[in-house]
Structure 1
Amino acid sequence: MLAFHSDAHSLALPPGHRFPQSKYRLLREHFEREPGLLRMAAAPAATEGELALAHTPDYVDAVIHGHLGAAQQREIGFPWSPSMAARSRHSVGASIAAARAALQEGVAANMAGGTHHAYADKGSGYCVFNDVAVAARLMQAEWARTRRSLLRILVIDLDVHQGNGTAAIFRDDDTVFTFSMHGARNFPFRKEASDLDVELPDGRGDADYLAALDRALAEVWQRCEPGLAFYLAGADPHEADRLGRLKLTYDGLAERDRRVLAALRERRVPVALSMAGGYGHDLATTVAVQVNTLNLAAESWASWVSERGTG
């Protein structure tokens, strides 16, 4: 399975900053030691034109050329630097590349991404550009140009925080179905309306979470027939996450991933994954969750390839 990384472009963060950017390097280094079914590649940078498919030109220009104001940088949570702009563009490029690969091979991944708090005209909550929104719009444009038909998109957002920026960008777009299952009392405290929102009380564990997921997916399939899915497989519902407030175990998160991937494969819906959030007290725990997500995705990819070969 193809997986695209962008951690070569680091953030110039002050000492003690809460964002755990080293997890992306640790994730890549794990798969360099134990690649399994993963084929890793460096992500290309998204172009200004590609970014403008989901973001206003003024905002794109401000990020790339360093015109963000102090208040905008505070809302994002990162100080501007050339490396911040480069990292943001390559992270979007990773989701674009993963989406293209998924349409060819069934499953692919961005080893970062899931920056779902970014709106069309601003960033927020450690999210500069909305990688899924840009990739979704670009895949639709490329599909229409080559296939002369409409590509419907499904966003399955299982980060513990609501995908407010994604919901806002696609609010009036009936070609993209947005589903977010998240903590009711967690960031962002002002939620946007997704096509389907499932809010969970603090402290929910494996059984309650998986039951809610099954009910939600059943509703999704009744309301949506996608040609491509984006799956934000956040590690932050884990019980040891600093910001999550839910109580999923390692095994519970693995079962979450299995159910999502199996449901998509059963319906022959290609999927591009992104790792989204994860803020473990012990960063190794977050990395272990995301390693398992990528291994399960790679197993699903292998099934896609096998089924295609025998179909």
Structure 2
Amino acid sequence: MEPGAETAACAPARYVTVPDAPSSPAAAAAATAAATAADPATSGFGAVARVAPGALAASYADLCAAAWPGPEQLPVVYHPNYNISFFGIEKLHPFDAGKFAKVVKTLNRDGVLRSDTQLVTPREATPELLADVHTADYLHRIHNHNFTVVQVTELAPLAMLPNKLLQWRVVAPMRMHVGGTMLAMGLALERGWAVNVGGGMHHASADRGMGWCPFDDIVLGVRRARRAVATAEAAAAAGAGAAAPEGAGAAAAAGAATPAGQADAAAGAPAAAAQVGGTAAAAAAFATTAAVGAAAAGGGLKVLVIDLDAHQGNGVGRDKLALGDGQLYILDMYNGGIFPRDDEAKAAIDIKVELKSGTEDDVYLNRLRAALERAALVLPRPDLVVYNAGTDVLAGDPLGRLGVSAAGVVERDELVWRWCRDVARAPIAMLLSGGYARDSAAVIAASLANLFAKFDLNPGAAAAAPAAPSSGA
């Protein structure tokens, strides 16, 4: 990416016209082939990790149900409670609320996973964590009033259930998805990649939920990741400052503690340290406060959300605008003729690709290639990519209304992962998001199997990826 493009790309409400095809398909193919042939030791996802293994363990201890995962575990996050069931009422909505278990079962059956013990188990995001983005009024309503849950899930019969039952069978699982997304982002920063077998609730914003999305797990996860990295870097700075000669400690600590984009805090650290005694420890303490505070205010990591769900990710866009987050970038490719048609939220999209109903593989994949090529040219190099990989783009999906085949979804996901590794050189956290066709879970499993095989994500497990199932197109 062009380093000089960073300043211009920070402005909100920038629209980028994306051509129908990449400018040079042959050059793109050659670059991909060259990257694929590179030494795996230097070109794998581990090479794009942002922090050392274990550096974020303390910051995510409240969201990890067991000890911080070691190398024998994969950065794949899942909890059985992701799956929602309440007396069959959930089947009145086209969303398959049990697809997450189906995906994991298929991955185990096909040998993509060696066992469930390779998975990482999250904890629910607490109301206190949700308050980092959501308003107190909305959190009160979603946790106490059935009507709000009915609005979010679009299932009127839920209004008749006792609220405690509704919280247990619907809202608590949704909070588990949020915890999983947050945890997956932290793991991606350490490992270079991660998958939350769930999440991607991109329609929710600070004061409302909609479209089966009660909480904005994406922006919540981004803000948590920024604080976690700032804390880890500040801790490293404190250690470096304590070990350095006293005269050099302030500058060393300030520099080491500063995440991307925090140059101002770094510049102020030496002077602040001098005012409190000029010691390395004082500089480290100042750096810790400055880095964590700046991260909470929206600085720190530059994050790119690649949203390929069939629907516009309006909740993420609204929260980006409301928070004034100049370090959050959005590439959103969606069917422009369906829900939610949120013109106000479109102002947050940096690269907008609106598709027509019925769009099939060739056009879909060409427009995606062109959008990624454009992102590499006009957006800053991201520190983290959050990939919202909805399968409601499948032909026959009753809500997405696009015409992408199962094989097209597999190719799409591989294209995004390869771009992150070889072009953006950024960690990727993948979320499953929407998908309402009957074969959605099978297509997701086939795509993950392909990713595991192509990028050797689980050495020693199944060597070959199964063919993608037919989507009925």
Q: TM-score, normalised by structure 1?
A: 0.89
1:221-255 CA-partner distances (Å, limit 9, x unpaired): 22131101110111111112121211111111111
Q: 2:132 aligns with which of 30, 53, 63?
A: 53
Q: 2:108 aligns with which of 32, 43, 52?
A: 32
- What is the aligned partner in structure 1 of residue 441 from structure 2? 287
Among all aligned residue pairs of Structure 1 and Structure 2, give the percentage whose two residues are the same amino acid. 30
- What is the aligned partner in structure 1 of residue 167 from structure 2? 82
1:77-114 CA-partner distances (Å, limit 9, x unpaired): 25461222210111001111111111111111111111
Letter in 2 for 1:40: L
Larger Rg: 2
> CA separation in 2, counterparts of 1:199 and 1:53?
31
- What is the aligned partner in structure 1 of residue 393 from structure 2? 237
Pairwise mapping of residues 40-119 of structure 1 onto structure 2 (< 5 A)? Answer: 40-63=119-142, 66-68=143-145, 70=147, 73-78=150-155, 79=158, 81-83=166-168, 84-119=170-205
1:155 aligns with 2:305: yes
Residue 106 of structure 1 contacts residue 304 of structure 1 at CA under 8 Å; is this kept in 2? Answer: no
Where 1:202 maps in the other structure, the secondary structure is coil
- Indicate the structure with greater helix content: 2
Letter in 2 for 1:43: P
Residue 114 of structure 1 contacts residue 277 of structure 1 at CA under 8 Å; is this kept in 2? Answer: yes
> CA separation in 1, counterparts of 2:148 and 2:171?
17
Letter in 2 for 1:287: A
1:106-158 CA-partner distances (Å, limit 9, x unpaired): 11111111100001111100001111111111001111222231211110000
Where 1:302 maps in the other structure, the secondary structure is coil
Residue 152 of structure 2 contacts residue 214 of structure 2 at CA under 8 Å; is this kept in 1? Answer: no
Pairwise mapping of residues 249-268 of structure 1 onto structure 2 (< 5 A)? Answer: 249-266=405-422, 267-268=424-425
> CA separation in 1, counterparts of 2:410 and 2:108?
22
> CA separation in 2, counterparts of 1:182 and 1:189?
10
> CA separation in 2, counterparts of 1:67 and 1:196?
38
Q: 2:363 aligns with which of 208, 212, 215?
A: 208
- What is the aligned partner in structure 2 of residue 308 from structure 1? none
Name whichever of 103-112 and 34-43 sits farther off. 34-43
Residue 107 of structure 1 contacts residue 300 of structure 1 at CA under 8 Å; is this kept in 2? Answer: no
Letter in 1 for 2:388: L
1:17 aligns with 2:92: yes
> CA separation in 2, counterparts of 1:138 and 1:124?
23
Residue 180 of structure 2 contacts residue 196 of structure 2 at CA under 8 Å; is this kept in 1? Answer: yes
Where 1:220 maps in the other structure, the secondary structure is helix
Where 2:119 maps in the other structure, the secondary structure is strand
Letter in 2 for 1:31: L
Residue 110 of structure 1 contacts residue 274 of structure 1 at CA under 8 Å; is this kept in 2? Answer: yes
- Indicate the structure with greater strand content: 1
> CA separation in 2, counterparts of 1:250 and 1:14?
28
- What is the aligned partner in structure 2 of residue 164 from structure 1? 314
Deviation at 1:62, TM superposition (A): 3.2
Deviation at 1:41, TM superposition (A): 2.9
> CA separation in 1, counterparts of 2:308 and 2:317?
14
Computed over aligned residues only, the root mean square deviation of the Cα atoms, in angstroms, reads 2.2
Name whichever of 16-25 and 95-104 sits farther off. 16-25
Where 2:201 maps in the other structure, the secondary structure is coil
Q: TM-score, normalised by structure 2?
A: 0.60
- What is the aligned partner in structure 2 of residue 5 from structure 1? 78
> CA separation in 1, counterparts of 2:90 and 2:136?
32
Residue 257 of structure 1 contacts residue 296 of structure 1 at CA under 8 Å; is this kept in 2? Answer: no
Residue 90 of structure 2 contacts residue 97 of structure 2 at CA under 8 Å; is this kept in 1? Answer: no
1:298 aligns with 2:452: yes
Deviation at 1:73, TM superposition (A): 2.7
Letter in 1 for 2:327: T
> CA separation in 2, counterparts of 1:133 and 1:11?
27
- What is the aligned partner in structure 2 of residue 309 from structure 1? none
Cα distance, 1:224–1:161 mapped onto 2, change above 3 Å: same
- What is the aligned partner in structure 2 of residue 183 from structure 1? 335
- What is the aligned partner in structure 1 of residue 430 from structure 2? 273
Segments of 5+ residues of structure 2 without an aligned counterpart are 1-73, 234-257, 260-299, 460-473
Residue 6 of structure 1 contacts residue 112 of structure 1 at CA under 8 Å; is this kept in 2? Answer: no
- What is the aligned partner in structure 1 of residue 35 from structure 2? none
Residue 51 of structure 1 contacts residue 134 of structure 1 at CA under 8 Å; is this kept in 2? Answer: yes
Where 1:122 maps in the other structure, the secondary structure is coil
Deviation at 1:301, TM superposition (A): 5.4
Structure 1 ranges of 4+ moved more than 4 A: none
Cα distance, 1:303–1:69 mapped onto 2, change above 3 Å: closer
> CA separation in 1, counterparts of 2:121 and 2:135?
27
Deviation at 1:24, TM superposition (A): 1.6
Deviation at 1:288, TM superposition (A): 1.6
Residue 361 of structure 2 contacts residue 403 of structure 2 at CA under 8 Å; is this kept in 1? Answer: yes
Cα distance, 1:123–1:300 mapped onto 2, change above 3 Å: farther
Segments of 5+ residues of structure 1 without an aligned counterpart are 306-311
> CA separation in 1, counterparts of 2:217 and 2:453?
24
Residue 152 of structure 1 contacts residue 176 of structure 1 at CA under 8 Å; is this kept in 2? Answer: yes
